[in-house]
Amino acid sequence: MGSGPNYFPEKEFGPDPDFLVTADHGAVRVLTMNRPEKRNALNTALTQALLDALRAADGDVAIGCVVLTGAGQGFCAGADLAEFKDLTPEKQHLVEARAELTMQLHLAIPKLTKPVVTAVNGAAMGGGAGLAIAGDLAVMADDASLGYPETRHGIVAAIVMANLVRQAGRKAAFELVALGESVDAQRALALGLVNRVVPRARLLDEALAFAQKLAAASRPAMRLTKRLFHEAADLPLAQALERGREANKRMRAFRKP
């Protein structure tokens, strides 16, 4: 997956490399959102850095899986409201660019050829909740929480709603976005939004263990598995079976004897 455009020119929003910390653990790349004083809220610089880093990991042959987590006590508080003062009708080009950037970030994870594991270390709200459940697998600290509080602020959980509906089902998803009430880790697990709930002290170890297993799998098989999974999730049954039939033919080329 090649690098994409920078949606904001640097003269308007300068990226800060310290907002995102990258560390490789063998074939696993850990991306840590690093704005703990802001609960890792997604300003434009961090959002762009995340998008670029995900695409870079996807293009790195040494990397087989990505782990996404947050620094400090929170995973991600969602959009950085401090930036919203510049997103006004008078600056429509900035409004459109920010919406496009946010959409591209949430679209990037299912489009990557490599799996992504989210390690939800604390509160994940709004766009942060969207990122938490966007991973192919998710591990959540037992004292973490997840929610979509937008309606309480008179706004809408707009871009993150599409993935939530696909993962939680209509009734649960509507409750989350309409009431704006957060859920604890056990409720998130019951709704199928995360795969594991573990003590906070073990969170990164558990996420890395997941990721290392994924990274150890056959790269061609994992790439095709992920692509087919996301296609099958969104297609009618007949079309999904057709894609499966074609994948079944292609996998003979890389299957071990």
Which residues share a beta bridge with 25? 28
Q: Is 150 a catalytic residue?
A: yes
**What is the chain's length?**
257
- Letter for the amino acid at 255? R
Q: Is residue 157 classed exposed, middle or buried when 0-12, 13-18 and 19+ CB atoms within 10 A define those classes?
A: buried
Choose the catalytic residue: 12, 83, 90, 150.
Answer: 150
Q: For residues 35 and 30, what is the distance between their CA atoms, to the nearest angstrom?
A: 16
Give the full edge-to-edge strand order of the sheet including 65-70: 20-25, 28-33, 65-70, 116-120, 137-141, 196-198
Catalytic site positions:
150
